[in-house]
Amino acid sequence: MCTYNGAKYLREQLESIIRQTYPIYEIIIQDDCSTDNTFEILKEYSKKYSHISISVNQQTIGINGNFFSAMNRATGDYIAISDQDDIWESHKIEKQIASIGDNWLSFHFSKPFSEDGSVVYFDDRQPNYGIERVIYQGPIPGHTMLLKREIIPMVSEESKKYFMYDHLFQMVTAAYGKIDFCNQILVHQRRHYKAATYTPPH
């Protein structure tokens, strides 16, 4: 998980991760110099749960840099990417581990919701994650991804200048035909005006 000024919704997301039915051995959280009380909340949780590891960047490095840096600290074979303001279903990781098989990346439906009047739209059609679609549209959101750690070095440093982390991972895995779709709603994606990725649906 990467955080930045996420104190308002952070506890709810952390609780949904802690309550997973599949055992999670490490929760790595990296903060990008928040100016609210995000890091105080993280310190509270890290004291309570020994498998939560927290750090704060010396200077702001942005979404892409923060996620790549945090993922490079992971020691497990699988990495699940988390935003700071969503809510996971309790069986999210269990379902994705069961589904991924020999693939390198598993993703699922996430259903948007709003509490501040932000416009949301849920597209429940079977997703197209063929290589052409992935290259031009990047339809797989990072917060739905469970990926094998071995694919991280397959992303070049140069490409990180031009594409977001989740777009890069789906392009690499689609090129090799190594994507699994777990056909369930496993994340409730909170949409709000201050979210870094929020744009009203057209």
Domain CATH for 100: 3.90.550.10
Q: Is the pLDDT of residue 199 over 80?
A: no
Name the least confident of 131-140, 160-169, 191-200: 191-200
Inside any domain, residue 56: yes
The mean per-residue pLDDT over the stretch 48-56 comes to 98
Question: Tell me, what amino acid is at 50?
Answer: S
The angle formed by the CA atoms of residues 7, 9 and 12, to the nearest 5 degrees, is: 120
Q: Which of 26, 24, 32, 54 is nearest to 41 (CA)?
A: 54
Q: Is the pLDDT of residue 144 over 60?
A: yes
| pLDDT tens figures, 22-47 | 999 999 999 999 999 999 999 999 99
Query: What pLDDT is attached to residue 9?
Result: 96
Query: What pLDDT is attached to residue 193?
Result: 62
The mean per-residue pLDDT over the stretch 146-150 comes to 97
Inside any domain, residue 199: no
Query: Mean of the per-residue pLDDT values for the chain?
Result: 94
pLDDT band at 170 (very low <50, low <70, confident <90, very high): very high
Query: What pLDDT is attached to residue 3?
Result: 98
Number of domains in the chain: 1
Inside any domain, residue 55: yes
Query: What pLDDT is attached to residue 198?
Result: 45
pTM of the full structure: 0.92
Q: Which domain holds residue 23?
A: 2-191
Inside any domain, residue 60: yes
| pLDDT tens figures, 71-118 | 999 999 999 999 999 999 999 999 999 999 999 999 999 999 998 888
| pLDDT tens figures, 113-136 | 998 888 899 999 999 999 999 999
Q: Which of 12, 48, 16, 10 is nearest to 31 (CA)?
A: 10
CB atoms within 10 A of CB 44: 14
CB atoms within 10 A of CB 111: 15
Inside any domain, residue 198: no
Inside any domain, residue 138: yes
Q: How much of the chain exceeds pLDDT 70, in percent?
A: 95
Inside any domain, residue 149: yes
Sign, Cα dihedral of 101, 105, 109, 114: positive
Q: Which long-range contacts (CB under 8 A, 24 or more apart) does 56-65 make?
A: 56/30, 56/31, 56/32, 57/30, 57/31, 57/32, 57/33, 59/33, 60/4, 60/32, 60/33, 61/32, 62/32, 63/2, 63/4, 63/32, 63/164, 63/165, 63/196, 64/160, 64/164, 64/165, 65/160
Inside any domain, residue 197: no
Q: Which of 192, 201, 160 is nearest to 86 (CA)?
A: 192
Query: What pLDDT is attached to residue 197?
Result: 59
